[in-house]
Amino acid sequence: MAWETKACRRRQQLAAQIPDEWQLPLPLQSEALVDVRIIAEKSGILDSLDIEITRSSNCDILAKIRKSQWSCERVMLAFCKRAAIAHQLVNCVTNFLMEEALETAREHDRYFADTGQVTGPLHGLPISVKDCLDVAGHETTSGLVSRIGLIARDDALVIRCLRQAGAIPFVKTNLAQATLLVESTNNVFGLVTNPCNRRLSAGGSSGGEGALVALFGSPLGVCTDGGGSVRLPAAWNGVYGFKPSATRIPSLGSRGVGYSDSNLGCTGVIANDIETLVLFASSTLGACPWENDADCVPMPWNSSVRARSKLRLGLLFDDEITHLTPPVLRVLRETQEKLAGAGHEVMVLDWSDLHVRGSRIIFTMYTQEGGVGVKEALDMSGEPPVPRLATGWSERPLTPIEIWRNHRARKQLRLDYLERWKRLDLDAIITAPSPHPAPPHGHYITTALSAIYNLLDYPCCIVPAGEVDLVKDVASEAWYAETPYDRIPDFPYDFGDGELKSLYKGPHIFANSPLALQIVGLPWQEELCLLISKHIDDIIHSE
């Protein structure tokens, strides 16, 4: 069967999963609608209780379930409806698990009625799952035609842990082909669009999660990050995201093609508040995943961690790979002012030498095996790579000696980065996750500001920080006149500073795009990273 036919049939199966009564009226399906964030609540499909449930914080949802104010089944139904609407707007889902999820929710309700006990800290909470993570009994496509129909026998370990905590998977979400680019598009399910402006990218490779959570179609999205794949979708869709240290949260059962074992990808989370990021991490670790995954560090969640009252924060404006665009610079400067006004010490970092070194190392790791894995996956069906897929085909495979040399360079960079951090006695670094806001589809520039923290294996939290301003964010002549930085060689999948200047023709190109901070902590200090991120979040949103 031709790959086109196989993919078309799979899309038809997906469309048929949405009940007729949840189909959007034709006027609300118009491509002329750009900002679709309020469509769900205007559609007539959701009743007032659906809206109340899906707009509630997860702490409130879980509390009301425990108080018998809402049943697990009713909560699940509300999110199933809203996810179906979200998918029709931004193409964010690959599989609806609604019947199974509703039955599991009813089982939870029966258990609670019989025992008076909840199944765990996430009792009855619906969760969405990126379609490179196994959910038992369902497909894991990773956006590849060759994986259509391949059914997972077991849950990915993180999903097993979350089920043990009481969570219920109810949808799988759209992603980049083979999880290997920053745009969430593939030949099976197509392109995910940004709910804030459907002409803009939802990011990748976890764009389905970012868009679904932004539309309140999921309370918690489980996803992966090998170079920004949690952080860019979170930032560009205006929600919160968290990338932990690589082996703190289990990755067993993740089926992305990946670049190589040299790159430290991880399992992360996207949600609408930091409290949910903490719930995800603490609940997952509460299931002791290290007992089933030798790569997972046996390190329980430590809720007693505290931050000092006066924080010492490093602020990174420039990595000398690309100049930050005006809206991204503005948000960092506003954050600097607010934090200083709240009594914290904020130091501007001149660490561009470390970032240039780091980008060269991580981009070499992304292509070191010459694209053998992704080529095999594509050749199995005959499908072509989507534009800008990081195949590695344009580079020759590195020799073992070259790989080891690059590993030694990574080790030295980690030592140098840590030494500077400790010299300044920092609590966290604040920077941007990307040099620009959510770009037009296919026009992202580089992942350098995100990927370096995979290389260093530092935990990172994304905190929303407003939107592009059509007046404030007009670029000055001086910004355009700045000499472009040299492009990183031997990595043709990212663009450089010159292309960034050409892309930023004005803030109107990025209209409605969310802006965000990337808050970085030291390895294995996820608790402190999230605690500091919450404190910063409270300060910048205090008005």
For residue 446, tell me if it sits in a domain.
Answer: yes
Please give the C-alpha separations between residue 54 and each of 46, 83, 457, 520, 526, in angstroms, as whole numbers.
10, 10, 34, 30, 27
- Would you state the pLDDT for residue 66? 98
Answer whether 0.95 is exceeded by the pTM: yes
Query: Which tokens hold the place of 146?
Result: 């060759």
The predicted pLDDT at position 292 comes to 98
User: Quick one: 98 exposed, middle or buried, by C-beta within 10 A (0-12, 13-18, 19+)?
Assistant: buried
Same-domain status, 384 and 268:
no
pLDDT tier for residue 394 given thresholds of 50, 70 and 90: low
301 within domain boundaries: no
Q: What is the dihedral of CA 332, 336, 339, 341, to 10 degrees?
A: -140
376 and 420 together in one domain: yes
Helix, strand or coil for residue 506?
coil
User: Is pLDDT above 80 for 151?
Assistant: yes
- Residue 259's pLDDT is 57
3-class SS at 36?
coil
* Cα–Cα distance measured from residue 514 to residue 316, given in angstroms and rounded to the nearest whole number: 20
70 and 23 fall within a common domain: yes
Asked, for residue 447, whether it belongs to a domain, the answer is yes
pLDDT of residue 543: 72
What element of type H or E holds 341? helix 326-341
Tell whether 268 and 134 lie within a shared domain: yes
Helix axes 58-66, 72-90, angle to 10 degrees: 150
Q: Which residue has the tokens 């992704």?
A: 374
User: Closest Cα partner for 98 from 202, 39, 22, 165?
Assistant: 22
Closest CA to 274 of 524, 543, 541: 541
Query: What DSSP designation does 383 have?
Result: P
Note whether 281 and 399 are same-domain residues. Answer: no
- Please give the residue range of the domain that contains residue 158: 3-286
| Band of residue 449 on the pLDDT scale cut at 50, 70, 90 | very high
Token digits for 170? Answer: 């109810």
Both tokens assigned to 70 = 């809402």
- Residue 428, pLDDT > 60, answer yes
Please give the Cα distance from 372 to 360 (Å, whole number).
Answer: 21
Q: In terms of C-beta density within 10 A (0-12 exposed, 13-18 middle, 19 or more buried), how is residue 156 classed? A: buried
pLDDT at 396 over 90: no
Contact 180, 143 (CB under 8 A): no
CATH number of the domain to which 8 belongs: 3.90.1300.10
Whether the CB-CB separation of 394 and 492 falls below 8 Å is answered with: yes
Query: What digits encode the pLDDT tens for the residues 249-291?
Result: 999 999 987 557 888 889 999 999 999 999 999 999 999 999 9
Lowest mean pLDDT among 14-28, 335-349, 417-431, 486-500: 486-500
User: Among the three residues 286, 321, 342, which one is the final residue of a domain in this structure?
Assistant: 286
What lies within 8 Å, CB to CB, of 237 at 6+ separation is 194, 195, 196, 202, 203, 207, 210, 211, 213, 214, 438, 514
Quick one: tokens of 397? 């495979």
Q: Do 265 and 321 belong to one domain? A: no
Amino acid letter for position 474 = V
CA distance 82 to 483: 47
Domain boundary, last residue among 270, 286, 302: 286
Tokens coding 138: 């369902």
pLDDT at 163 over 80: yes
The residue assigned the tokens 């993919």 is: 7
Residue 360 structure tokens: 């060269």
The SS3 assignment for 222 reads: strand
Specify the pairing of strand 514-520 against strand 221-225: unpaired
pLDDT score for 103: 98
The residues that bridge with 240 in the sheet, in sequence order, are 271
Co-location of 91 and 207 in the same domain: yes
Q: What is the Cα–Cα distance from 302 to 1, expressed in whole angstroms?
A: 52
Is pLDDT at 216 greater than 70 in this prediction? yes
43 noted as active-site residue:
no
Q: Which of 43, 146, 229, 381 is catalytic?
A: 229
pLDDT over 90 (residue 393): no
- Residues 317, 280 within the same domain: no
| Mean confidence (pLDDT) of the chain | 97
Do 350 and 449 belong to one domain?
Answer: yes
CA distance 65 to 498: 53
130 is catalytic: yes
> Tell me: the pLDDT tens digits for 300-342?
999 999 999 999 999 999 999 999 999 999 999 999 999 999 9
Of these residues, 205, 245, 262, 283, which one is catalytic? 205
Q: Does residue 211 fall inside a structural domain?
A: yes
- The token pair at 156 is 């990915």
Residue 182 in any domain: the answer is yes
Give the three-state DSSP class for 276. Answer: helix
pLDDT for res 256: 82
Residue of 341, 348, 213 lying closest to 280 (CA atoms)? 213
The C-alpha angle 444, 410, 515, rounded to 5 degrees, equals 30
- pLDDT at position 503: 98
**Lowest mean pLDDT, pick from 340-354, 383-397, 524-538:** 383-397
Q: Residue 489 has what pLDDT?
A: 82
Is pLDDT at 512 greater than 90 in this prediction? yes
Of 64, 81, 130, 243, which one is the catalytic site residue?
130
Domain membership of residue 300 (yes or no) is no
Q: Give residue-wise pLDDT tens across range 39-91.
A: 999 999 999 999 999 999 999 999 999 999 999 999 999 999 999 999 999 99
Q: Is residue 296 part of a domain?
A: no
Could you check whether the bond before residue 251 is cis, i.e. omega within 30 degrees of 0?
A: no
What pLDDT does 257 receive?
Answer: 79
- Choose the final residue of a domain: 286, 301, 333: 286
**The pLDDT value given to residue 392:** 78
Asked whether residue 148 falls in the same domain as residue 201, the answer is: yes
99-123 CB burial, b ≥16 within 10 A, e <16: ebbbebbeebbebbeeeeebbbebb
Give yes or no: residues 115 and 152 share one domain.
Answer: yes
The answer to whether 221 and 128 have CB atoms below 8 angstroms apart is: yes
Beta strand 221-225 with 126-130 is parallel
Q: Is residue 10 assigned to a domain?
A: yes
For residues 224 and 319, membership in a common domain is answered with: no
Q: What is the percent of the chain where pLDDT is above 90?
A: 94
CA distances from 460 to 208, 244, 524 (A): 20, 7, 11
Total domains, the chain? 2
